């Protein structure tokens, strides 16, 4: 659902610039574009909320958060601009002049959100990797090795991990 919301927001953002001239002359079209952009953001937010509740380690939730961040900023840009055109205040002229700066700030905010979310995804993946590695039994310097296969012998389980030889079989154990 988050990806659908992101696509709606991106489409609204692109269509907004394609039909910018029509929007400047039509308040109804401005209102529709603003509503579409806000709908895209709401869908992305609902999708993020669902994946956050379902995801165990939060990796999918972070990916959906990334989609929500992109959707949020694009929706905000379209809605702000559309409402500004809808009410046709004198500030619209200044807003048009400030559009390049506004887009630069928008891109910067999206990049910051993307970088922060990717860092969180990397941290979540490292946590998963660390937990997986800690599940593997560790051996000290006094570990025993099987003479038959060279695999490690687990003292607690009393067998070779690699070939399955029992630890009681003295001829199969090398204490080096």
pTM for this prediction: 0.43
Q: Do 75 and 159 fall into the same domain?
A: no
Q: Do 156 and 127 fall into the same domain?
A: no
Domain encompassing residue 28 = 2-134
Into how many domains does the chain fold? 2
Q: Do 73 and 153 fall into the same domain?
A: no
CA distances to 70, 92, 126, 146 from 8, in Å: 11, 25, 32, 61
Q: CA 29 to CA 16: how far, in whole Å?
A: 10
Cβ pair 6, 69 in contact under 8 A: no
pLDDT tens for residues 122-163? 776 776 655 555 444 444 444 566 766 766 666 666 667 667
pLDDT at 20 over 70: no
Nearest to 36 by CA among 80, 95, 79: 79
Q: Do 23 and 98 fall into the same domain?
A: yes
Q: CA 111 to CA 117: how far, in whole Å?
A: 10
pLDDT tens for residues 77-113? 777 776 666 666 555 566 666 667 767 777 777 777 7
pLDDT at 55 over 70: no
């Amino acid at each position: 659902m988050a990806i659908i919301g992101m696509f709606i927001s991106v489409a609204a953002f692109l269509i907004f610039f394609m039909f910018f001239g029509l929007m400047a002359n039509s308040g109804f079209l401005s209102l529709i574009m603003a509503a579409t952009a806000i709908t895209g953001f709401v869908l992305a937010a609902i999708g993020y909320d669902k994946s956050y509740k379902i995801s165990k380690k939060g990796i999918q939730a972070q990916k959906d958060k990334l989609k929500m961040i992109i959707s949020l900023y694009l929706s905000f840009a379209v809605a702000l601009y559309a409402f500004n055109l809808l009410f046709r205040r004198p500030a619209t002229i200044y807003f048009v002049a400030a559009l390049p700066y506004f887009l630069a700030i928008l891109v910067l905010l999206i990049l910051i959100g993307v970088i922060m979310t990717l860092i969180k995804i990397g941290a979540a993946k490292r946590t998963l990797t660390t937990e997986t590695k800690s599940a593997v039994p560790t051996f000290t310097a006094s570990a025993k090795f099987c003479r038959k296969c060279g695999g490690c012998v687990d003292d607690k389980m009393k067998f070779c991990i690699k070939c399955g030889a029992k630890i009681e079989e003295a001829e199969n154990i090398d204490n080096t």
